[in-house]
A and B are shown apart, each in its own frame.
Chain A
Amino acid sequence: MAKSNQAVERNVNWIIHVILIAASVVMVIPFGWMILTAFKTVTEATQIPVKVFPAHPDFSSFKKAFEKTDFTHYFLNTAFAALMKTVFPVVFSSMAAYAFARIKFPGRTVLFFIIISVMMVPNPVFYTPQYLLLSKWGLVNTVTALWICALVSPFATFMLRQFFLGISKELEEAAILDGCNPFQTFRYIMLPLVKSALVAIVIIQLLWSWNELQWPLIINSSPDKLTLSSGLATLVSMFSTNYPILMAGAIMAVIPMIVLFFFFQKRFIEGVAFSAHKG
């Protein structure tokens, strides 16, 4: 009886692996095709019947992507905007989250509600007024426009507050007795305790900023003020069938986040899992 159960268990495991591997193949095919196409010639990329492997793989498309487009600008703009959209929101949100979680002050509930209420609003609702505001400030078509509206993050404030709520009171009380002011208590006692949450939020903010499309597309149109995301979208019309160049650009645009993901995949996954539990 026990023996046959084990045999069933083995068979089931085997079937599970077959399904998981088949699904993995489907998930990675687009990446494989991206890489293969980038090394093909233009004719090979659109050949009929389909040619899977390039006859003479060459790197020239990667070079051309830099030479024939503003790729360097896209890259620098994206990196700078992502940095700003990560550092400021994380610093501001962690301070606000601590105050909301740990200090009872008049108006706390109302002010917190004001901040999180915008989380329910679809993003496009904000875009036109934000555009008008930035155009009044003369910021349309500038690199600043890419990040200024994302200086603060209601989402990060909400997530970090959940973390601070989960920490026990004793350490904090000791700090207060020692004469720390609330900012010092936050900075030296509480912040180190939520370090892992901070790392997760930093990664998520970087990822979102890096990949965002609609806002950069709306706010900037000069080629040297585009991001990788909006830049790639305009390259599609410039090089409509030069797929090797397009794919070379795509690969270079995704590599930084994929590298980041591989180094921090545990944190990424914890960050996602966390948002489910406390959401």
Chain B
Amino acid sequence: MNSRSRYVWAYAMIAPTLLGTVVFWCWPAIYSIYLSFLKSENFGMSNHWVGLANYQKLFKDQEFWHNLRNTLYYTVLFVPVTLVLSTFFAVLLNAKIRGQSAYRVIYFLPQVTMPAAAAMVWVVLFAHDYGLINYVLGTDVAWISDSRFAMFALVIVGVWGAIGFNMLLILAGLQGIPKALYEAASIDGAVRFRKFRYITLPLLTPTLFFTTIVLMIGATQIFDSIYLLIGKTNVALPDVRSLVYAYYQNSFVYYDQNYGAAIVDVLLVINLILTGLQFAFQKKWVNYD
């Protein structure tokens, strides 16, 4: 078969995916940026160009800075806790342990659970007066309606949901480390912790790097658990409201799609910066052999 007809086959085989990607993803991404420079009257009708006005309004808006702070605060709490706990459990499960697959299934179960269903039961668990958590801990905390604690409640639910998935990623990384390295260390009399510190951890850094990026991108997009756990009328909402939540409110509750577009475009830039920084700093700690 000549190469020209092979090309035709290739183009035909990528056509549906390419077309769909351009129409449903590429074009919307570009249009979202364009929207943020417009002012629309009736949701999508009679647009006019206003330049940077939406961004000027955004940067002057106290609420925006508060939402940005909340988003970053959640990320800063959620990512390290998830990373440390996932690594901890992955290392424990990487040992020769009976019932390994049972543990993996149990830890992965929250990942399979619909966030809407999980959030509903967490609301009951966190309840101030009849909640199991206060009952067991003997505390008297309004977990989801007290501004001081609502963020922690979100982090707890987030970590609970994320450990299983990230633990598996790290477990896969651990299983890629050659056993021979540990055998050599045993002969030298290295103890457990030293093995972890000097063999496991350095060789795991590429996996940890990948996991951190995925976790960070996910954390900056937090929406489901705020919408479901905190709710619209909660007094603690301003202290946990994320950028994506504010995007949803502005675009689909107040119908200001242009302002909403500006918010998510800022989020896009933040994600590009965070990922860029990760790649810039990876030389300092990521170890590719």
Q: Which of B217-269 contact A (CB under 8 A)?
A: 217, 220-221, 223-224, 227-228, 231, 244, 247-248, 251-252, 257, 260-261, 264-265, 267-268
Please determine whether B104 and A95 come into contact, CB atoms closer than 8 angstroms: no
- In the assembled complex, 29 residue pairs joining A and B whose CB atoms fall closer than 8 Å, in A order, are A16-B97, A31-B121, A95-B16, A96-B16, A103-B7, A115-B21, A125-B28, A125-B268, A127-B28, A127-B251, A127-B264, A130-B28, A133-B24, A151-B16, A181-B9, A183-B9, A214-B227, A218-B248, A232-B116, A236-B123, A247-B121, A247-B124, A250-B117, A250-B120, A261-B112, A268-B112, A272-B172, A273-B168, A276-B172
Q: How far is the CB of B207 from chain A (nearest CB, A)?
A: 6
Interfacial chain A residues near B11, Cβ < 8 Å:
99, 105
A257 contacts B13, C-beta separation under 8 Å: no
Give the distance in Å from the alpha carbon of A254 to the alpha carbon of B112 in the complex: 8
Q: Is the CB of A213 within 8 A of B227?
A: yes
Q: Is the CB of B24 within 8 A of A152?
A: yes
In the complex, how many angstroms separate the beta carbon of B247 from the nearest chain A beta carbon? 5
Q: Which residues of B contact A (CB under 8 A)?
A: 1, 5-7, 9-14, 16-29, 31-32, 35, 44, 89, 92-93, 95, 97-98, 101, 103-110, 112-118, 120-125, 127, 129-132, 135, 160, 163-165, 168-173, 176, 192, 207, 210-211, 214, 217, 220-221, 223-224, 227-228, 231, 244, 247-248, 251-252, 257, 260-261, 264-265, 267-268, 271-272, 275
Give bound CA distance, A156 to B9, whole Å. Answer: 20
- 8 tightest CB-CB pairs across the interface, nearest first? A152-B20, A129-B28, A273-B172, A250-B117, A96-B17, A182-B9, A276-B169, A129-B31
List A contacts of B129 (CB < 8 A).
Answer: 46, 48
Give the residue name and chain of the B residue nearest to A246 (CB): B120
Considering only CB atoms, which chain A residue lies closest to B4 in the complex? A105
Interface majority SS (helix, strand, loop, mixed), chain B: helix
Q: How far is the CB of A125 from chain B (nearest CB, A)?
A: 5
Closest chain A CB from B213 CB (angstroms): 9
Say yes or no: A182-B267 contact (C-beta < 8 A), given A37-B124, A229-B115, A272-B169. Answer: no
Contact B17 A92 (CB under 8 A): yes
Given A13-B97, A181-B9, A232-B120, A176-B20 contact (CB < 8 Å): no
| B21 in contact with A154 (CB, 8 Å) | yes
Chain A contacts for B121, CB-based, 8 A: 30-31, 33-34, 37, 247, 250
B97–A17 contact, CB under 8 A? Answer: yes
A128, B220: Cβ atoms closer than 8 Å: no
Residue in B1, B16, B25, B264 whose CB lies within 8 Å of A181: B1
User: Considering the complex, which residues of chain A in the window 120-177 have a beta carbon less than 8 Å from any beta carbon of chain B?
Assistant: 120-133, 135-136, 148-154, 157, 176
**Cβ A273 vs Cβ B120 within 8 A:** no
A133, B21: Cβ atoms under 8 Å? no
The smallest C-beta distance from B198 to any residue of chain A, in angstroms, reads 19
Give A114 to B17 CA distance when docked, in angstroms: 11
Closest residue of chain B to A106 (Cβ to Cβ) is B7
* Contacts A103-B7, A126-B24, A277-B176 supplied; 10 other A-B pairs, CB < 8 Å: A19-B92, A23-B89, A31-B121, A125-B268, A257-B112, A269-B104, A272-B172, A273-B169, A274-B172, A277-B172
Q: Which residue of A lies closest to B89 (CB)?
A: A23
Q: Is A192 part of the contact surface with B, judged by Cβ < 8 Å?
A: no
Report B-chain residues with C-beta under 8 Å of the C-beta of A49: 135
In the complex, A179→B6 CA distance in Å?
12
Q: Which residues of B are found within 8 Å of A247, using beta-carbon distances?
A: 120-121, 124
Given contact pairs A20-B92, A31-B109, A182-B9, A130 touches B24 in the complex (Cβ within 8 A): yes
Rounded to whole Å, the gap between the CB of B108 and the closest CB of chain A is: 7
Is A2 an interface residue, CB under 8 A from the partner?
A: no
Task: List the B side residues contacting A34 at CB < 8 Å.
Answer: 117, 120-121
The CA of A228 and the CA of B176, in the complex, are separated in Å by: 39
Verify if A86 is at the interface (C-beta below 8 Å from B).
Answer: no
Does A27 count as interface, using CB distance less than 8 angstroms?
yes
